[in-house]
Structure 1
């Protein structure tokens, strides 16, 4: 199911880029926001349970992680969770992206 769910998300993104004037940056932001909204409405967690990594790895999964982490932290520590929840929930993924991006930049010589 991970392949099916992840594939459908990718197909939707490709169709948005091919059939609308949206740029890849617009689609990126749209997917993160839609994932966050669906998470806030309780609609994304069932998709995660059904599709696993197929739902958490693509961009809507990042929006889901931000919102679910914020809600969890609000329930734990109150209003301060608004500021810390999203950072705690997404810190590992953001750190990995920065570190691997740095390693790729140092390792490979770009053409320019």
Structure 2
């Protein structure tokens, strides 16, 4: 039960901090997303993100910080197995399933609902 509570409050805290960042700065959402992914990769490289994920579970692995950490893990493993070329392959290999699922489910949602263009 405590795993669910930790995931809920940590994920909520991350979302609240990002919302504050969006409202208090003039940063565009795309730049904030890049900051989150890069921060997750840096925290993973330094070794801080894995203990954080062990504590928070899905609350830390689902947000964009977790995606950056996933990319870092993939690059690190690919470098160990494939050498220099792993720098370019690792991120794609580790995130391919998640990105593919997002594309497929987005397409299915567009079939079920009527998407509208912003005016």
TM-score by length of 1: 0.92
Partner of 2:95: 90
SS of structure 1 residue aligned to 2:114:
coil
Which of 15, 32, 38 is the matching residue for 2:43?
A: 38
Partner of 2:65: 60
- 2:27 is equivalent to residue 18 of structure 1: no
Q: CA deviation at 1:80?
A: 2.0
The answer for unaligned runs of 5 or more in structure 1 is: none
Q: CA deviation at 1:103?
A: 0.9
SS of structure 1 residue aligned to 2:72:
helix
Greater CA drift, 77-86 or 62-71: 77-86
Shift >3 Å, 4+ stretches:
none
Partner of 2:55: 50
Q: 1:73-97 CA deviation, whole Å, 9 max, x = no partner?
A: 1112211211211111101110001
Q: CA deviation at 1:106?
A: 2.0
The answer for unaligned runs of 5 or more in structure 2 is: 1-5
Count of matched residue pairs: 112
What is the alpha-carbon distance in structure 2 between the residues aligned to residue 80 and residue 111 of structure 1? Answer: 42
SS of structure 2 residue aligned to 1:12:
helix
What is the alpha-carbon distance in structure 1 between the residues aligned to residue 113 and residue 70 of structure 2? Answer: 31
SS of structure 1 residue aligned to 2:20:
helix
